[in-house]
Amino acid sequence: MARTASIERTTSESSIRLSLDLDGDGTSSISTTVPFYDHMLTAFAKHSLIDLTVEASGDTDIDAHHTVEDTAIALGLALAEALGDKAGIRRYGDATVPLDEALARAVVDLSGRPFLMHGGEPAGFELHRIGGHFTGSLVRHVFEAITLNARITAHVDVLAGRDPHHIAEAEFKAFARAMRVAVERDPRVTGVPSTKGAL
């Protein structure tokens, strides 16, 4: 059974069309009008092996915040839909990823309980504009929106780093690699991987 989803989300601030395939090869086509975010979502697809198509537009003349967050909401909703009842998945995933001087760790549990622990970014990171459009504070907003709407638990920590671009990219790649493991089908798992019988 295909593990795919398509989401369309339109508000007065943004318009999002997003589709994904959990069993892909990392193919992506990303256009959010926020270039650095396109780069991060492309990296997410490549390293999670989740095929991802995103067409997004919004009031980026005011700020990138609405388009970035609303795209992440759609991504979370699509992940939840594609995972279905989560039967046969590994459920847990973790990864530690370097990018030059930066090092990030992500641990995820497709638990059905939305929770994000996020830390370690250096002081001032949240104020830095990466690529002129994407403020460092948006990294946490993206992970918050994904975890809440996909209903997953995630711990994302920056262990080292100086360059804001490298720090953000290491975080996205670590999250992607952790998700790659967590969403995989495990041939040894029968049914839902929980003693409760549901996730």
Phi-psi region of 170 (alpha: psi -120 to 50; beta: other; left: phi over 0): alpha
Q: What is the pTM of this model?
A: 0.97
Check pLDDT > 90 for residue 135: yes
pLDDT one-digit tens code per residue, 11-24? 999 999 999 999 99
Which pLDDT band, with edges at 50, 70 and 90, does 133 fall under?
A: confident
Segments of 70-194 assigned E as strands: 92-99, 102-109, 115-119, 129-130, 134-135, 153-160
User: Closest by alpha carbon to 174, among 95, 70, 117?
Assistant: 95
